[in-house]
Amino acid sequence: MFPRLLSELASDVPGVLFCYRVSADGTFHYYPFISSRVREVFGLDPRKLQTDASAVFDIIHPDDRAGIVPSISVSAATLEPWQYQARLRLKDGTYHWFEAHSMPRREADGSTLWYGQFTDIQAHKELEADLRQREAESAYQLQFHKLLASLSSDFINAPIGDFDQEIDRFLARIGEFFDVDRVYIYRFSEELTRMTNTHEWCRPGVPALKDSQQNVDITGFRWWQEQSRNLLQHNRVVFIEDVSKLPDSAGPERALLEEQGVAAMFCIPVVTRGLVDGFFGMDSLQVRRWRRDLSDLLILVANLLAQALERFRLEQELLNQSIRDPLTGIHNRRYLEPRIAEMLARYQRSGEGFALAMLDIDHFKQVNDTHGHQAGDQVLRAFARLLQNQCRASDVAARYGGEEFILALADVTPERATWALERVIDEVRELALSFHGKVIPVTASAGLVHVSDLENPSPTPDELITEADRRLYRAKRSGRNCLVDASGASPL
């Protein structure tokens, strides 16, 4: 009566009640009692388990088996409660997580007997996994927004001269965060027939493509041109999940991407001033699983990049307005004076010589009085273009005021500086200018000073400009259309 009553009571208890015995020498094990639910849940015959417990161990998930026997041995040796979690195969072939709780007792024959219960904890495990996933997602989103905030701060605080380096750092941090192999920025030509890689980051060991992606003709890539139009006209993300599965119409694109080792890629439009003028992209050299919301995250990244590019453009415009003469487009005094100071610093540090010339357009007032101020503006612009064209990258041409200009020649000897200025004045005389059909003859006078001309070994920019101005005055007194340097007037 009591065994039947126990069995009936056990069948109504959630989970599986059991008594499990291991012989003293550990050679055999069985269940003296196990509730009938073991048949309902696992499809095992409880009568067979009363002679051999192996069938229960056979339904343990392979990944969870390694620790179970050692844990039973420890419990048998210490008579501490045995607790274990594992996935067990159900009657329908699926696996559920179960947790076993039992108390050991040593029997007179030296065997160990455990009284306990298997409890289905699948719902708890799923909830736990869901919570972990939510926590991981929250942590990911938090890290992503921290990254955006940090990148935004870096762009705001970056000096204009460091903007390209800041873009490179931006691409590197994005590439590392999303764990991709290559991140880049392309700009389209206005007619959408060419594109240029302006910035690129590559994971160590991944070949760079930037040098080969300059002014690339894309007219032969019709499928890509259509994607580019989607970028431009509809502000759509282009996602190629597997390059090898591109349609036949994208044959040339597939061949090129496979040659570059690209397996998957994202391209996100970059919109500035309301127009898409390029895209921000990421490459993976392996086909991989992507986050379903990755497009949304990358759009946020592209928006941040677009804001930075627009801010840089505006700052560049403001800077140009502050350091360039609005009429002629060449630099002004605000830009010139620090550059002279830099040349002086190099001269004092390494002895690198330089020269300063002040030039004046001869009889400029007569041009204004005779032909009008529009004609005078035309002469100023033409003279400025000529000076700019005569400059090397290291030289500086600037409008100093009115019809006076300064040309700063870096890393030159006195002789080379004189030759350069003679050529400038000769070129000015050859200017063929006319206004409303009337020819406007143009000549110029110049005062040239080389830094080595001055007795002061550490002259100031003002001293150099003052000396160049004195020599310009002497050139005018000498009849104009000439150059005065340390040796005197050189009529041309």
Model pLDDT for residues 57-73, shown as the tens digit of each residue: 999 999 999 999 999 99
The pLDDT value given to residue 456 = 87
Q: Is the pLDDT of residue 232 over 80?
A: no
The pLDDT value given to residue 484 = 94
Which amino acid type is present at position 84? Y
Bridge partner residues of 409 (DSSP)? 355
How many CB atoms neighbour CB 53 within 10 A? 19
Task: pLDDT band for 40, please (50, 70, 90 cuts).
Answer: very high
CB 113 within 8 A of CB 21: yes
Between the alpha carbon of residue 372 and those of residues 79, 174, 379, the distances in Å are 111, 57, 11
As a residue count, the chain comes to 492
The pLDDT value given to residue 303 = 85
The pLDDT value given to residue 3 = 53
Between the alpha carbon of residue 437 and those of residues 375, 378, 441, the distances in Å are 11, 13, 13
Q: 51-60, 302-311, 394-403, 457-466: which range is least confident on average? A: 302-311
Regarding predicted confidence, which is higher, 297 or 406?
A: 406
pLDDT digits (tens, 9 = 90+) for 66-121: 999 999 999 999 999 999 999 999 999 999 999 999 999 999 999 999 999 999 99
The pLDDT value given to residue 489 = 62
CB 151 within 8 A of CB 173: yes
Strands 82-89 and 444-450: unpaired
Burial 429-455 (b: 16+ CB within 10 A, else e): eebebebeeeebebebbbbbbbbebee
Q: What is the dihedral of CA 197, 203, 206, 209, to 10 degrees?
A: 10
CB 386 within 8 A of CB 328: no
The rounded distance, in Å, linking the Cα atoms of 463 and 472 is 14
The rounded distance, in Å, linking the Cα atoms of 320 and 434 is 29
Q: Is the pLDDT of residue 8 over 80?
A: no
The pLDDT value given to residue 66 = 92
CB 398 within 8 A of CB 409: no
The rounded distance, in Å, linking the Cα atoms of 402 and 397 is 14
Give the percent of the chain with pLDDT over 90. 62
The pLDDT value given to residue 491 = 54
Between the alpha carbon of residue 468 and those of residues 224, 409, 412, 444, 453, the distances in Å are 58, 13, 16, 14, 11
Provide the 3-class DSSP secondary structure of residue 427: helix
Regarding predicted confidence, which is higher, 341 or 233?
A: 341
Sheet hosting strand 112-120, strand order edge to edge: 29-34, 16-22, 112-120, 95-106, 82-89
What tokens appear for 424 in the block?
A: 């400038």
Report which of 347, 313, 318, 338 is spatially closest to residue 456, judged by C-alpha positions. Answer: 347
Task: pLDDT band for 272, please (50, 70, 90 cuts).
Answer: confident
Q: Is the pLDDT of residue 472 over 90?
A: yes
The pLDDT value given to residue 480 = 93
The pLDDT value given to residue 1 = 40
Q: 28-32, 159-163, 204-208: which range is least confident on average? A: 159-163
What tokens appear for 444 in the block?
A: 């110029």
Burial 66-95 (b: 16+ CB within 10 A, else e): eebeeebeebbeeeeebebebbbebeeeeb
Task: pLDDT band for 5, please (50, 70, 90 cuts).
Answer: very low
DSSP 14: S
Question: By CB neighbour count within 10 A (0-12 exposed, 13-18 middle, 19+ buried), where does 259 fall?
Answer: exposed
pTM: 0.59
The pLDDT value given to residue 190 = 79
The pLDDT value given to residue 207 = 92
pLDDT digits (tens, 9 = 90+) for 135-167: 888 998 999 999 999 988 888 887 767 888 889
> In sequence order, what DSSP letters do the residues of 229-293 get, joined into one string?
HHHHHH-PPEEES-GGG--GGGHHHHHHHHHTT--EEEEEEEEETTEEEEEEEEEESS-----TT
Task: pLDDT band for 2, please (50, 70, 90 cuts).
Answer: very low
The pLDDT value given to residue 42 = 95
Mean pLDDT, the chain, integer: 89
Between the alpha carbon of residue 46 and those of residues 33, 55, 153, 195, 315, the distances in Å are 8, 10, 68, 74, 81
Regarding predicted confidence, which is higher, 292 or 350?
A: 350
CB 489 within 8 A of CB 373: no
Bridge partner residues of 34 (DSSP)? 18
Burial 456-474 (b: 16+ CB within 10 A, else e): eeebebeebbebbbebbee
